[in-house]
Amino acid sequence: RKEVEQDPGPFNVPEGATVAFNCTYSNSASQSFFWYRQDCRKEPKLLMSVYSSGNEDGRFTAQLNRASQYISLLIRDSKLSDSATYLCVVNRGSYIPTFGRGTSLIVHP
Amino acid sequence: NAGVTQTPKFQVLKTGQSMTLQCAQDMNHNSMYWYRQDPGMGLRLIYYSASEGTTDKGEVPNGYNVSRLNKREFSLRLESAAPSQTSVYFCASSEAGVIDTQYFGPGTRLTVL
């Protein structure tokens, strides 16, 4: 099993839809979790950290399920500008983070 | 405040040539990283520098060397480029380590013929 797995998609949704992505991780000792967004041919940028109790930032909600070893990202009221690749990052507390391969989201009119 | 800058943006090399990718950050961050991103492979850590004066291997260090020149600058050197090193290279920095937010540079697109 890969250390961090994401469904590559693409997820093709209409504007205004709600969409959710999961990211599973294999190492139960993982300590911190993030979602990054990467636009085509651009650098990744932090979207949000993922806290144990779950956290929300506007239309975006991130959750962590330690028992089942996955994190999730929920996007409500999708905008065209949300089209991007979403990368999950899992850190084991060392200096070597593990990036998922990304989930592609396409929001269409 | 430029954040993380990388030079060059694009480079084409012939097999066996050498080159150095430059990275600089102006956020006074302690830690810096070099990644490569290949289609379908995600981001993989090549080398990192936890703090000025230290460097360590990441997941895919073979064929690369690094220098943490000072707190601001972290360079990546390809001594003898191979086609397998064709990739997009990203430099990143963070204040205190990978548990912290990483800020990425715009990337260098390298092709080795």
Mean pLDDT (chain B) is 93
B31 has which bridge partners? B94
Query: Kindly report the CA angle at A13 between A11 and A16, in degrees rounded to 5?
Result: 140
Q: Return the pLDDT at A95.
A: 65
Residues A90, A97: contact at Cβ < 8 Å? yes
DSSP B35-56: EEEETTTEEEEEEEESSTT--E
Q: From CA A102, how far away is CA A11, in angstroms rounded?
A: 11
Give the residue numbers in B contacting A (CB under 8 Å), as ranges: 31, 40-45, 48, 50, 56, 58-59, 90, 97-99, 101-107
Looking at residue B33, its pLDDT comes to: 94
Residue A103 pLDDT greater than 80, yes or no: yes
Alpha carbons A44 and B106: distance in angstroms, whole number: 9
pLDDT-derived band of residue A92, with 50, 70 and 90 as boundaries?
confident
Chain B: residue nearest A39 by CA? B106
Q: What is the pLDDT of residue B95?
A: 87
**Quick check: A34 and B90 CB within 8 A?**
no
| Nearest CB to B48 within list A31, A95, A100 | A95
Tracing tokens 């601001």 back to the chain, one arrives at B72
**How large is the average pLDDT for residues B65-94?**
96
pLDDT of A10-22, one tens digit each? 999 999 999 999 9
pLDDT band at B112 (very low <50, low <70, confident <90, very high): very high
Write the pLDDT tens digit of every residue in A40-72: 989 999 999 998 899 999 999 999 999 999 999
pLDDT at B98: 60
